[in-house]
Amino acid sequence: MINHKLQTTNDKSRCAGSRKTLFYNNKEAGQYQSSNPKMFKHLIFDVLVLFVFWCLLFGVSAQASSAVDLTEIGVGARPLGMGKAFNSIADDGSAIFTNPAGLTRVKKFDLISMSGNLIGEVPYMALGGAWRNDLGVWGLGYVGASVSGIREAVLVGVTPEVTGSEASFGNSTFVLSYANDAKNIAYLNSLGFVADKDLQVGVNLKMASQGFSGGASFEGGSAGGFDLDVGTLWEVNDRLTGSMLVRNLVPGNNLGPDELPMGLAAGVAYDMPEKNLVAAADAEISSGALLLHLGAEWKPMPRIALRGGLDQAANGFNLAVGVGTNVNGFTFDYAYHTYAELSEFTTHYFSVGFVGQ
């Protein structure tokens, strides 16, 4: 129910070919490094970037079977109320699931939770917390969804017959996040070009699992594995912020026969403090499709935020609206999200959190 099929291609050979093309022999590399170590570090960085983009272009839809990444669905009523146009705005605990680089905006600690029913029937829950220490900002998160009451059927000859047994399917992801200013990360600072830029970097280590329970015919349908997200934020000036995020960077089938789909997202946010308004736009490539997300947040009063956005899916644009308030550090957010496939899938999301000052 949750998994969907992708066209099979030979991405591993493409990525391997890219490595052969990009690297030269060790002797020449050693001579180049000794003669100009700073330029050599730049070259390594550029090669890694090119390799990532090569694998994204030719490997995004390469696996035969793709599992659902729950963190892509949208975690937090605030991001969902803005049509998921949040990668460049991320400034609270929900950054664990949207863009880990945004955790650098957490002052002390931040807690976030969310609940809702996907398509009206699948319970969806998220919990997260972020805290700052001398090493940077750390985050821990959990997101899970499950469905029960799946009736077991077996084939008797060529006719399926219900056995009377029922099974459940669950999908969950644990996230460990780390974020810091690029200039505070020794290797990135050594490259030179980040020292004078307001650039933040964040990383997610994701531990995902999915599987069935109950019902003999579902045995062997469970799997678990790891993946990585890497996100950046660049505060161009007081008003404009840009972002880039690579999701599920680890190639290959990391959930048994399935793979968490690799994706690339980029976005911008423009802050208008004189109008208490921020607007954002994100574009992402996921499962071979280019999707757009547009959203805005307006604060007519200091403690009240009104939100709206458009969240593009494969079947069209989904409307999203939301509202939120902050009372003595406690945040309460609500989002209403439509789904183009069926109006019955419209979902209400609720988030409660706390922002430590």
pLDDT tens digits for 26-50?
444 444 444 454 444 444 444 444 4
Give me the residues paired with residue 334 across strands: 323, 350
Tokens read off for 27: 């002797």
The answer to the question of residue 89 being in a domain is yes
pLDDT-wise least confident of 27-41, 94-108, 117-131, 246-260: 27-41
Axis crossing angle, helix 37-59 with helix 11-22, rounded to the nearest 10? 160
Mean pLDDT in the chain? 79
Which conformational region is residue 215 in: left (phi greater than 0), alpha (psi within -120 to 50 degrees), or beta? left
Which conformational region is residue 193 in: left (phi greater than 0), alpha (psi within -120 to 50 degrees), or beta? alpha
pLDDT-wise least confident of 47-56, 259-268, 296-305, 332-341: 47-56
pLDDT reported for residue 251 = 81
Question: pTM for this structure?
Answer: 0.76
pLDDT reported for residue 218 = 60
pLDDT-wise least confident of 112-116, 134-138, 279-283: 112-116
pLDDT reported for residue 195 = 56
Are 259 and 134 contained in the same domain? yes
Q: Residue 19 sits in which domain range?
A: 12-59
Predicted confidence (pLDDT) at residue 149 exceeds the cutoff of 90:
no
Length of the chain: 357
- d(CA 334, CA 114) in angstroms, rounded, equals 9
DSSP tag of 258: B
pLDDT reported for residue 42 = 47
- d(CA 141, CA 93) in angstroms, rounded, equals 9
Residue-wise pLDDT for 230-243, tens only, equals 999 999 999 999 99
- d(CA 280, CA 284) in angstroms, rounded, equals 13
Are 154 and 17 contained in the same domain? no
The answer to the question of residue 223 being in a domain is yes
pLDDT reported for residue 77 = 94
- Mean pLDDT value of segment 343-350: 81
* Lookup result for tokens 């997101």: 143
pLDDT reported for residue 41 = 46
- d(CA 59, CA 15) in angstroms, rounded, equals 8
Are 213 and 334 contained in the same domain? yes
- d(CA 270, CA 260) in angstroms, rounded, equals 31
- Mean pLDDT value of segment 304-328: 93
Tokens read off for 259: 């793979």
Predicted confidence (pLDDT) at residue 193 exceeds the cutoff of 70:
no
The answer to the question of residue 65 being in a domain is no
Are 33 and 88 contained in the same domain? no
pLDDT reported for residue 262 = 87
One-letter amino acid at 288 equals G
CB 127 within 8 A of CB 113: yes
Question: Looking at per-residue confidence, does 156 or 296 come out higher?
Answer: 296
pLDDT reported for residue 198 = 84
How large a percentage of the chain has pLDDT more than 70?
A: 72
Tokens read off for 346: 């419209």
- d(CA 352, CA 350) in angstroms, rounded, equals 7
Question: Looking at per-residue confidence, does 283 or 166 come out higher?
Answer: 283
How many degrees, rounded to 5, is the angle at CA 187 between CA 184 and CA 193? 80
Residues sharing a CB contact under 8 Å with residue 109, sequence separation 6 or more, in sequence order: 129, 130, 131, 132, 356
pLDDT reported for residue 57 = 47
Are 41 and 190 contained in the same domain? no
- d(CA 125, CA 340) in angstroms, rounded, equals 22
Tokens read off for 354: 């706390």
Are 30 and 87 contained in the same domain? no
Are 40 and 144 contained in the same domain? no
CB 146 within 8 A of CB 171: yes
The answer to the question of residue 167 being in a domain is yes
Are 217 and 332 contained in the same domain? yes
CATH number at residue 175: 2.40.160.60
213: Cα within 13 Å, side-chain hemisphere: 9
Are 31 and 125 contained in the same domain? no
* Beta pairing, strands 136-156 & 304-313: unpaired
Calculate the alpha carbon distances from 133 to 71, 106, 108, 180, 270 in Å: 25, 11, 8, 11, 29
The answer to the question of residue 102 being in a domain is yes
CB 67 within 8 A of CB 227: no
Residue-wise pLDDT for 202-253, tens only, equals 999 999 888 777 665 665 567 888 999 999 999 999 999 999 999 998 887 7
Which conformational region is residue 286 in: left (phi greater than 0), alpha (psi within -120 to 50 degrees), or beta? beta
